[in-house]
Amino acid sequence: MEWAIEGKSTDGPISRHLNRRLSRRITELILRSNAPITPNQVSLLSFLTALIGSLLYIPGLDPLAGVLVQLSSVIDGVDGELARARGETSPLGAFIDSVLDRLADAAIVLGLTISAYRAWGALAIAPGMAALLGSLMVSYVHSQGTATLGFHVSRVGRVPMYASRDVRLFTIFIGSLLYSPLATLVVLAVLTLSYVIAKTIDVYQNLRRSGLLTIDRRGNGV
């Protein structure tokens, strides 16, 4: 039996070119073996893998932590593939996956900040806070675009989706292998905050050019 194992139209570049090649094989193995594994269980496994990775930064096991972070990114693609292949997609499943992803993101960045603090002291605090804020804001911009504008912001405008979750986790993976926690935090902060600012302006200008920019009852531009 053949299954339609599909990614998402909003996949970032790392997901499209690397993660999906691995996650599809895992999903196919689960389907072929008829394993009683649910998409929500996969979401939880991805979260736990990321959480363990974040804790490994505390004793300074950065390379191993980075490997688990990237592994969690790959596993994160399996839940959606499994749900779509089985026809088990649901708003609740998407909600659970999103919440667990945000918790995992926060734990990973905090763990990386602890690693940077060990070597650089207080100099690591500001980049850590900026990286955490930026990571969460990228996800917020994407979710709010869908919720309030009715479309994923990656589908409009000229700014490419260069700070998606797959890119952020892969950046952390590479930085961890190189034992460069502070530099990784700085790169994350620049990557995410620049994307949030650029994409917000990009969406505004796109809506304005298309004549879809209006004023709601509260006087806010929409």
* Tokens 């779509």, located at residue: 84
Residue 150 lies in a domain: yes
Does residue 220 fall inside a structural domain? no
Task: Tell me, yes or no, whether 3 lies in a domain.
Answer: no
**Residue matched to tokens 């094989």:** 25
In a domain, 66, yes or no: yes
Measured distance CA(114)–CA(52) in Å, rounded: 14
Give the pLDDT of residue 136. Answer: 96
Question: Which residues, at least 6 apart from 214, have a Cβ–Cβ distance to it below 8 Å?
Answer: 221, 222
The CATH number covering residue 34 comes to 1.20.120.1760
The encoded tokens of residue 184 equal 């990784």
Residue 6 in any domain: the answer is: no
Q: Which residue has the tokens 């950046």?
A: 171
Strand, coil or helix: 71: helix
If one counts the domains in the chain, the total is: 1
What is the reported pTM? 0.92
Query: pLDDT below 50 — which residues of the chain?
Result: 215, 217-222
**Is 26 part of any domain?**
yes
Report yes or no on 218 lying in a domain. Answer: no
23 neighbors 83 (Cβ within 8 angstroms) = no
Q: In 63-174, at which residue ranges do the beta strands (DSSP E only) sit?
A: none
What pLDDT does 98 receive?
A: 95
The reply to whether 188 falls in a domain is: yes
**Domain encompassing residue 29:** 13-210
The reported pLDDT for the residue numbered 95 is 94
Query: What Å distances lie between residue 113 and 25, 62, 69, CA to CA?
Result: 33, 11, 15
| CA atoms of 194 and 10, how far apart (whole Å) | 19
- 10 Å CB burial of residue 95 (0-12, 13-18, 19+) is exposed
* Backbone φ, ψ for residue 177 (5° rounding): -60, -30
**pLDDT at residue 155 in the model:** 87
pLDDT at 222: 39
- Greatest Cα-to-Cα distance within the chain, rounded to the nearest angstrom: 57
Amino acid 39: pLDDT: 95
Confidence at residue 219, expressed as pLDDT on a 0 to 100 scale: 42
Give the pLDDT confidence score for residue 1 in this predicted structure. 55
